[in-house]
């Protein structure tokens, strides 16, 4: 047996995403970025036109489509995308909670629906996913992006997230989505404190026990910066130089790599990241270390 994984590269076609908002709002810039991520070894490119950062405001389906459709079409036209899980060409994921956006993106060549609402936001979404035969990713989020970081509370965060994902998985299967097409995402940073995020990462094996691929999205998130900042402040109290300013997104790569390697060891198999090349290199070495019989040629799971 190998230790396969897939790396999902993030293409945000938004003015306000927390890490790269506005950088790729122009379709040509977003397409160039997608090509760059594919060149770095992305197995999936995740194209999104609505920011889900804390406090983000919703956008209309028309505006979201205006942003993402030319990018999906451009990736397909370039000949770099297509195929089934396990194939050699990159696959396109549409990061949306709107059925109209997902339908158009699927028509243009997307084959994964990454829905941060876990099919709750749009009553038509589950039927569309079932009928299209696409893969889908169901994510846990407390509340919505505008409110999710306002004092999030859980009984036991891992138990609560697991129960939610189990319920959404069952609902999707009952609605006709094939179980082998479903991925689950605990929603690191979506309505969670630093302690909640760390508990989910530490006990990720409790979520992989649900039997579906687990997606981890820690890339450049603020909790990594807070941990680094707190550690620097502790060093300062010990008489060494501390950090006065928040840790910006570009300096969160080390934390991103650490969390992804730990998640791989605990059974996660899909990693949603901004920095494809360094994360893929880290995961490749980690996988070879954890399972010496693993080889890079075995990297892509079939389900």
Q: Which residues are catalytic?
A: 221, 272
Q: What 3 state SS string does 228-276 have?
A: HHHHHHHHHHCCCCCCCCCCCHHHCHHHHHHHHHHHHHCCCCEEEECCH
CA distance 214 to 264: 10
CA distance 157 to 269: 21
Shortest CA distance to 203 belongs to which of 214, 193, 212?
A: 214
Q: What 3 state SS string does the chain have?
A: CCCCCEEEEEEECCCCCCCCCCCCCCHHHHHHHHHHHHHCCCCEEEEECCCCCCCCCCCCHHHHHHHHHHHHHHHHHCCCECCCCCCCCEEEEEECCCHHHHHHHHHHCCCEEEECCCCCCCCCHHHHHHHHCCEEEEECCCCCCCCCCCCCCCCCHHHHHHHHHHHHHHHHHHCCCCHHHEEEECCCCCCCCHHHHHHHHHCCHHHHCCCCCEEECCCCCHHHHHHHHHHHHHHHHCCCCCCCCCCCHHHCHHHHHHHHHHHHHCCCCEEEECCHHHHHHHHHHHHHHHCCCCCHHHCCCCC
Q: Are 155 and 196 in contact, with CB atoms under 8 Å apart? A: no
């Amino acid at each position: 047996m190998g230790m396969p994984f897939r790396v999902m590269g993030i293409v945000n076609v938004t003015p306000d995403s927390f890490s790269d908002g506005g950088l790729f709002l122009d379709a040509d810039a977003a397409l160039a970025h997608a090509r760059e991520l594919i060149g770095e070894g992305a197995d999936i490119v995740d194209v999104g036109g609505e920011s889900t950062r804390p406090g983000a405001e919703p956008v209309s389906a028309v505006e979201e489509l205006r942003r993402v459709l030319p990018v999906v079409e451009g990736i397909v036209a370039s000949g770099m995308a297509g195929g089934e899980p396990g194939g050699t060409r990159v696959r396109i994921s549409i990061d949306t909670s709107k059925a109209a956006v997902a339908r158009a993106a699927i028509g243009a060549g997307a084959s994964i629906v990454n829905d941060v609402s876990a099919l709750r936001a749009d009553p038509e979404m589950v039927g569309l996913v079932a009928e299209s035969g696409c893969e889908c990713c169901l994510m846990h989020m407390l509340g919505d992006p505008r409110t999710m970081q306002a004092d999030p509370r859980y009984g036991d965060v891992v138990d609560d997230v697991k129960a939610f994902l189990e319920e959404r998985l069952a609902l999707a299967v009952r609605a006709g989505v094939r179980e082998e097409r479903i991925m689950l995402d605990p929603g690191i940073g979506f309505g969670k404190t630093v302690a909640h995020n760390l508990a989910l990462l530490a006990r990720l094996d409790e979520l992989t026990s649900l039997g579906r691929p687990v997606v981890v999205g820690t890339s450049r998130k603020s909790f990594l910066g807070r941990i680094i900042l707190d550690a620097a402040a502790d060093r300062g109290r010990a008489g060494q130089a501390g950090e006065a300013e928040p840790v910006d997104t570009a300096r969160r790569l080390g934390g991103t790599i650490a969390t992804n390697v730990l998640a791989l060891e605990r059974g996660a198999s899909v990693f949603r990241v901004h920095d494809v090349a360094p994360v893929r290199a880290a995961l490749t070495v980690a996988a070879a270390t954890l399972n010496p019989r693993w080889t890079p040629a075995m990297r892509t799971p079939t389900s």
